[in-house]
Structure 1
Amino acid sequence: MAKTLVYKFGGASVKDSIAVKNLTEILRNRLRKDMVIVVSAMGKTTNALESILSRKLAKEDFSQNSSTLKAFHLEICEGLFSAGHPIFAQVQNLFLQLENKLELDLSRENYDEFYDSIVGFGELVSSRIVAEYLCSQDLLVVWKDAREVVKTNSDFRFAKIDWEETKKSCSSQWKPLLGNFPILTQGFIGSDPKGKPTTLGREGSDFTAAILATSLGASSVTIWKDVPGVLNADPKIFSDTRKFDELGYREAAEMTYFGASVIHPKTIKPLANVDIPLFVKSFLDPEAPGTKIHGAAIPHEVPTIVLKKEQILVSFKVTDFTFIEELHIHRVYERLQALKLRVNMLQLSAISISIVIDAQLFKLDQLLEKLKSEFEIRYNEGLELLTILHPAQEGISAYLEGYEVLLEQASRNTFQAVRRKI
């Protein structure tokens, strides 16, 4: 049996009926058995579901938001299918399930678990629509629920993979099927030991592709994006970007660690461990070579710029005139780990610990509440974290013009600055 190929299509590649038709053309001469196709939610559906959750939590009416989201998906179906096609009833049914779940109680205490029971609907609806359309175009695929095989712990919103169970499930449930048909499934979602839905962190569909590729012993993973490959900066923010024809696993992992959005940060490690190459290609120009990420790439020294928005700078200052010790750092990190907050930048002084974290609902309040008795705490919100890998020293100042710099640090190969617009 030939080795499995894994293709992943993100939200932009299924954002409307034209995009779904383009995806179909990409697959027309590429689809084969032994292929797994992973799709994300359509367009900004996950953001819309998060907005619904925010309104529900605030006890505000969200019915219009839900109706708008349903209408968005039905409009895509109208652009793909003739009236009376079964997909319309399927979409209506999925939104009825969503509305029933939204009737349940939501509080700060159960927010993470409730979140995971809701936001996966984006992928479930998207994958149903895409699978039905492919089949209508004589590209036969089998729709499968990723939660059947992607097994995780119960760390809701940031679930950790149970690799042994996932590999076992993939081998027993999907491998026999792949000998005869391609499978179309969802990114981002899994299930815990009790069968409750979990998610792998925002933009986690890339990670799903890597999980399935590793578990199925795939020959490669291809992520289809709206950019020509991996660039040295986000072209929506910076001009004069350069595409990498190839990258080593380590370089790619470093870029994603600091926040490069083209690939989810957890994607590289499982592929590198078993030497599965990752291709990043453009769904707007599918014949172009894109970028190949693999173990034999030649290292480069091209400056790479990563910008993370909606950052919070928090400083913890000891109050008893002692110096910062390991115990203080341990206490802060203990609380960060409990809240599932990742540190994007850390700086120590004699009497304070400064960290930069992503803005997340409730999390800052909970962090302050737990540590306010031990530290004097100050924070700034709405900041940007600029990271430059392999910086050209003479070029750094250009990225700081017009900004106030609240914190910066540099090493041999990395420059970071927390900035806000003046």
Structure 2
Amino acid sequence: MTKEAPAGASFVPVPRIFPLPPPPLLPGPDLPHGAHCNLDRQGEPGMTTVYKFGGASIQDAAAIRHLGEVLATTRERPLVVVVSAMGKTTNALEALLAAARSDDDRDYRSRLDELRSAHLATVDALFGDRKATVAERVEALFEELDHRHRTHRREPRPFHYDQTICFGELLSTTIVAAWLNASGTATDWHDARELIVTDAHHQAANIDWQATGAKVRSLDLGSGRLLITQGFIGGTPDGVSTTLGREGSDFSAAIFAHCLGAGELVIWKDVPGLFNADPRRFDNAVQLQRLSYDEAIELAWHGAKVIHPKTLAPLREQGIPLKVRSFEELGAPPSVISAEGASAATPAFILAEEQALLELRPRDFSFMDEARQHDILGRLVEAGVHANLIDSGATRLSLCLDAHPTRLEPLVEALAADYALERHDDLTLLTVRHPTEPLVEALSGNREILAERRNRDTAQRLFHSRECSETWHIPEGR
């Protein structure tokens, strides 16, 4: 399949590597006995369940073995398993992309070899002297990855990105599916780029729900075999790879759950469920055992890292419950997101780090009216940048943004050409859901407030990161 050349670019068609044959069924040892995974399903018997495993769940051979234990002990069928790239692989692929586009061949080769060696080391640790077939498939994927970099490095970056970053998920699912088959869990491998149909908006592709639904519902889920596929990636109707945005694997799992009318979606994490604050930053965070869809969407929108913001809408539409479970503590109670949330609102606290504050003013000292705000916010949309806080005055618009260099720097350059711009970096944004005034004041302490926003349900304050490095404590009884 080929793609029409983008305007102003010379496109060299590259054969896609799918349909990729399923990973081989290898003889393998019996798995060690693990804890039984009782999921307390809310769906009706026979309804499909969707699992999603993130990069930390498959970061090395030991983690993949543990994943195999989890899947070997669950009786859920039909079962669709959505898997991310192995831990930190997407970051490594982005660094490889940068090296390819900079024409630094030594750096590029070094990064490619390091990534290849890491995946082959995992294969060796899992399969030992039975690794040949799986290793050959991994090598073939890296050869194709190298070929795509050499072919597409002069193409627009978003297009180049999507043709290469997808290999993280293709590699991980190839290894995981082979291990599951070798360990006695019969598994069918499917390429998500043939199932998740999107437009060609690279790095943030939009789903064609009708076409995607038809393809997903055509899958054979009645064989009793587990179905494994990739998160984060999709494909256009003419066979071009796309991605759904960083951390989009949760969204992929929700797409499958929605299209299949699943009984539930279970997202496996390295933390025991959802908390009212990040336990790594707040020493007295507590687990939220029940949340409504609306409250979970609010938390995700404001930067809670556990659930991808787009994940919840397709689940809410069909009333599909989402459970967040601990990959490390199988017996721990899950957090459940459904139509019925907790009976009382619990304050929640989100710290978004690596923030930048842009303060924009008209160069002619006139008002920051609706037309100018529309222009500025429209540029954010075009750049794919989300404003975490917006505060406006008569002659000023203040924006708190994630300081992602590849997206923020071009945006800042464009805005500075038309507006007087003042920038502050190294900031931390505190968001409090269901706040009280004493609670917000106690958390703020003596920190300098650079910007703030408040409505009935949410309070936000922006601080210097140097004042936020310590462990936080949620005040009692406020």
Q: Which residue of the other structure, out of 83, 91, 95, is the alignment partner of 2:138?
A: 91
Q: Is 1:255 aligned to 2:302, yes or no?
A: no
User: Using the alignment, how far apart are the partners of 1:55 and 1:373 within structure 2?
Assistant: 29
**1:26 match: secondary structure:** helix
CA contact 1:33–1:179 (8 Å) conserved in 2? no
Structure 1 residue 102 displacement after superposition? 1.8
TM-score (norm. length: structure 1): 0.94
Report the counterpart of residue 407 of structure 1 in structure 2: 451
Structure 1 residue 300 displacement after superposition? 3.1
Q: Which residue of the other structure, out of 377, 380, 388, is the alignment partner of 1:333?
A: 377
CA contact 1:14–1:23 (8 Å) conserved in 2? yes
User: Using the alignment, how far apart are the partners of 1:319 and 1:391 within structure 2?
Assistant: 37
* More deviation, 391-400/183-192: 391-400
Structure 1 residue 258 displacement after superposition? 0.4
Question: Residue type matched to 1:80 in 2?
Answer: L
Question: Residue type matched to 2:163 in 1?
Answer: S
Q: Is 1:2 aligned to 2:46, yes or no?
A: yes
Structure 1 residue 338 displacement after superposition? 1.6
Report the counterpart of residue 84 of structure 2 in structure 1: 40
Report the counterpart of residue 432 of structure 2 in structure 1: 388
Structure 1 residue 399 displacement after superposition? 4.0
Report the counterpart of residue 137 of structure 1 in structure 2: 183
Report the counterpart of residue 167 of structure 2 in structure 1: 121
User: Using the alignment, how far apart are the partners of 1:399 and 1:73 within structure 2?
Assistant: 44
Q: Which residue of the other structure, out of 204, 221, 225, is the alignment partner of 1:158?
A: 204
User: Using the alignment, how far apart are the partners of 2:212 and 2:145 within structure 1?
Assistant: 26
The Cα offsets for residues 353-395 of structure 1, whole Å up to 9 and x where unpaired, read as 1112222344334323433443212222332222111224333
Structure 1 residue 32 displacement after superposition? 4.5
Q: Which residue of the other structure, out of 252, 259, 262, is the alignment partner of 1:215?
A: 259
Report the counterpart of residue 333 of structure 2 in structure 1: 289
Q: Which residue of the other structure, out of 39, 64, 74, is the alignment partner of 2:110?
A: 64
Question: Residue type matched to 1:207 in 2?
Answer: F
CA contact 2:361–2:397 (8 Å) conserved in 1? yes
User: Using the alignment, how far apart are the partners of 2:374 and 2:192 within structure 1?
Assistant: 37
The Cα offsets for residues 173-200 of structure 1, whole Å up to 9 and x where unpaired, read as x1x3445422001100001232211111
Q: Which residue of the other structure, out of 18, 21, 24, is the alignment partner of 2:68?
A: 24
Report the counterpart of residue 76 of structure 1 in structure 2: 122
**1:83 match: secondary structure:** helix
Number of aligned residue pairs: 419
Q: Is 1:246 aligned to 2:246, yes or no?
A: no
Structure 1 residue 59 displacement after superposition? 3.1
Percentage of pairs with the same residue: 38
User: Using the alignment, how far apart are the partners of 1:248 and 1:390 within structure 2?
Assistant: 14
The Cα offsets for residues 148-204 of structure 1, whole Å up to 9 and x where unpaired, read as 1101111111111111111011122x1x34454220011000012322111111111
Question: Residue type matched to 2:159 in 1?
Answer: E
The Cα offsets for residues 123-161 of structure 1, whole Å up to 9 and x where unpaired, read as 111101111111111100101001111011111111111
Q: Which residue of the other structure, out of 144, 149, 156, is the alignment partner of 2:195?
A: 149
User: Using the alignment, how far apart are the partners of 1:255 and 1:114 within structure 2?
Assistant: 32
* More deviation, 333-342/54-63: 54-63
Question: Residue type matched to 2:150 in 1?
Answer: E
RMSD between aligned residues? 1.8
TM-score (norm. length: structure 2): 0.84
User: Using the alignment, how far apart are the partners of 1:377 and 1:207 within structure 2?
Assistant: 35
CA contact 1:247–1:299 (8 Å) conserved in 2? no
Write out the 4+ residue segments of structure 1 that deviate beyond 3 Å after TM superposition: 177-180, 368-374, 397-404
Question: Residue type matched to 1:198 in 2?
Answer: T
Question: Residue type matched to 2:120 in 1?
Answer: L
The Cα offsets for residues 38-87 of structure 1, whole Å up to 9 and x where unpaired, read as 11111111111111122233333221111111111111112211224311
Q: Is 1:169 aligned to 2:215, yes or no?
A: yes
Q: Is 1:101 aligned to 2:148, yes or no?
A: yes
After TM superposition, the structure 1 = structure 2 runs for residues 227-242 of structure 1, keeping only pairs within 5 Å, are 227-242=271-286
